[in-house]
Amino acid sequence: MPIRVLSEIVAAQIAAGEVVERPASVVKELIENALDAGARTIRVEVEGGGRRLIRITDDGSGIAPDEAEVAFVRHATSKLTTIDDLDNIHTLGFRGEALASIAAVSRVTMLTRVEGQQAGMRLRLEGGSLLERAPVGAAVGTVITVEDLFYNTPARLKFLKAESTERRHIDTIIARYAMAYPNVRFTLSQDGRMTFTTSGNGDLADVLVEALGLEIMRDMIEVVPLPPPRPDLPEIAVWGYTSTPHLNRNTRSHITLFVNGRAIQDTSLTYAVAQAYHTLMPSDRYPIAVVMIQLEPSEVDVNVHPTKAEVRFRSPEAVFGAVQRSVRRAVITRAPVPGLGSGRTPEGAETAPIGMELDQPGMPTSSPAPWRTAAYGPNQTVQPTQLDLDLPDHDAGRYTGQIPPQERPSTPESAPDQVDFSYELPPETRRRSLPPMRVIGQLAAMYILAEGPAALYLVDQHAAHERILYEQFMAAQAAKRPIAQHTLEGITVQLSAAAARLVDEYAEALQSVGFELEPFGGSLFRVQAVPAVLTESDPGEAVVSILSDLERGLRPGESTIEAQIVLRICKAGAVKAGQTLSYQEMVNLMKQLERCEFPRTCPHGRPTMIHIGADQLAKEFGRT
């Protein structure tokens, strides 16, 4: 085939593929232009997930009338003039490709006016070609409207995701720039509905409440800048917010990084944030963090990625160390690292086996222990902890299908806090799936110790209770019994814009498992009802956790969204590790586990128990 020079239009459409990947890319580029123009208020309007319309309105400096048309020429920019200027970039944009690329694959209208000019200028382009240029009245600033994105590149159009997915990407872009520029007022309207807004008062915490939700923000720790450990290292300021160790996720995607106001992706710095939690968080869990990094522009190269999502540092080790030190310092002030021998009890506290009364040392009791020695450190005090775990007491090894109706215990309607696991099972007699076990006690407020035939069993109380709740929930659904519990008073929960969008998208699935969420304005929702197994849990925290799972989509082994929600419900409602149980509570939990169909694993596949055989014990004590 002969070699030809592509036309300007075709070349522009091909080049647009590097800059405009999806509607969110258009929003990103136009917001960066607005910020570079000094805007203090940016309003974003989107229709049809950005395919039909994107409109960005700002109150920045605007574009002079004689420069408005030039702004849509490729590589036309006011940010730099020579290659040396790349070493000192203070703006978000600098290549002069965004407007040209956007105009090449859409229909664009720009209305702009600079201060001091009596009239503004309106330009209208289609597929990169200028159709109209006229003076008009306008406010100071710029309004750019992008319509019918990818109308002339159908190959690109068919690769776009569902509108709900594209809307979530736009939510994420707006939230990130609002975090990086808390002194700018952002508003986002999608399909006529206001989904995100910030005050522009300069307080990052206020932005994070809107972006992450109030429930998450309650467990965020402020990160403050630290001086460099050595005088030869560059000045690197690190600040922002990061979560307490108990608030974590199973992916690194909730760690958001900014360098000089630019959102970036950097595996090394993400690892630095995760490493700051060493020994404070399980190795397969990651914090929620928003980390700002500020350093001299000459210390960072921003021209190494087509969308400027990655940067290169002149001293990467120094940046890594600064991030890790600042986050670590913030975390340990709220969650001190346990020292060697941290199992000591607080000074002045009497000791006794966990879950047993002091006046009967070594003897189990049927009433909950009114206290527990779970705090470590000489300056901490023992706090009273009352438990409310009332599991029905049935005979071990007998399924409800084998118990005559008149013998089956019932939960009074006046005691909604009691959990009833006596759901109907097939009437035929089943072979016992667990050996008979006698409860001995509780270890570390996490494991139930039980004696079985020639063996010692350690039962994970949280995993075991998850299995009980899961089979109860699934049996109730199969029998079409009510699974929702209405709250006594409406509880409100504030969600991020992305989470609020998920509530709309999965409203039917959430309702099918017992949730009733009523919009209460913006991203605020009223929790009217929750699944019955969560009546003793924090409804707001459960909603946030479930929406976080939904954001990641289905995982291996999960066939439906409803199944994923049920797993999270059972996890939230189960007895927690570290929760002291009375002897009778442990006995009742074991009896319920014996009646489960699959008692040896939790719904996630993790074992509920391990055993140590008599032969192994004899070997350890030198008896063989």
3-state secondary structure of 17: helix
Residues forming CATH 3.30.1540.20 domain(s) in the chain: 400-612
The pLDDT, as a whole number, for residue 43 is: 97
Mean pLDDT in residue range 525-553: 77
Q: Tens digit of pLDDT for each residue in 160-196?
A: 888 999 999 999 999 999 999 999 999 999 999 999 9
CATH fold, domain 8-198, is Heat Shock Protein 90 (3.30.565)
Does 455 score more than 70 pLDDT?
yes
The pLDDT, as a whole number, for residue 166 is: 93
Does 229 score more than 80 pLDDT?
yes
Report the C-alpha gap between 530 and 511 in whole angstroms.
9
573: nearest Cα among 535, 546, 529, 607:
535
Give helix 539-552 / helix 497-505 axis angle, nearest 10°: 80
Residues forming CATH 3.30.565.10 domain(s) in the chain: 8-198
In degrees and rounded to multiples of 5, residue 322 shows phi and psi of: -65, -40
The two tokens of residue 323 are 């991030």
pLDDT band for 515, please (50, 70, 90 cuts). Answer: confident
The pLDDT, as a whole number, for residue 26 is: 93
Average confidence score pLDDT of the chain: 77
Q: How far is CA 198 from the centre of its chain?
A: 20
The pLDDT, as a whole number, for residue 342 is: 35
The pLDDT, as a whole number, for residue 84 is: 56
Are 106 and 151 within 8 A, CB to CB?
A: yes
Residue spans of beta strands (DSSP E) within 536-623: 609-613
Mean pLDDT in residue range 488-514: 80
CATH fold, domain 400-612, is formyl-coa transferase, domain 3 (3.30.1540)
What CATH number labels 219-334? 3.30.230.10
Does 321 score more than 80 pLDDT?
yes
Mean pLDDT in residue range 256-260: 93
Q: Tens digit of pLDDT for each residue in 141-158?
A: 999 999 999 998 888 888
Are 441 and 583 within 8 A, CB to CB?
A: yes
pLDDT band for 358, please (50, 70, 90 cuts). Answer: very low
3-state secondary structure of 414: coil
In order, the DSSP letters of 79-119 are S-SSGGGGGG--SS--SS-HHHHHHHTSEEEEEEE-TT-SS
Q: Tens digit of pLDDT for each residue in 589-605?
A: 999 988 887 787 788 76
Residues forming CATH 3.30.230.10 domain(s) in the chain: 219-334
Report the C-alpha gap between 271 and 287 in whole angstroms.
11
The pLDDT, as a whole number, for residue 473 is: 85
Are 531 and 484 within 8 A, CB to CB?
A: yes
Are 26 and 20 within 8 A, CB to CB?
A: yes
The pLDDT, as a whole number, for residue 6 is: 57
DSSP 8-state assignment for residue 601? B
Q: Tens digit of pLDDT for each residue in 10-64?
A: 665 555 555 688 999 999 999 999 999 999 999 999 999 999 999 999 999 999 9
460: nearest Cα among 577, 556, 581, 288:
577
Q: How far is CA 520 from the centre of its chain?
A: 22
Report the C-alpha gap between 238 and 456 in whole angstroms.
51
pTM of the predicted model as reported, rounded to 2 decimal places: 0.61
Beta-strand pair 255-259/289-294: parallel
Percent of the chain at pLDDT > 90 equals: 34
Higher pLDDT, 508 or 343: 508
Mean pLDDT in residue range 62-72: 88
Q: Tens digit of pLDDT for each residue in 124-134?
A: 999 989 999 99
Higher pLDDT, 154 or 382: 154
Report the C-alpha gap between 456 and 621 in whole angstroms.
15
Residue at 522: amino acid letter? G
The pLDDT, as a whole number, for residue 335 is: 53
For the ranges 236-250, 422-436, 442-456, the lowest mean pLDDT is seen at 422-436
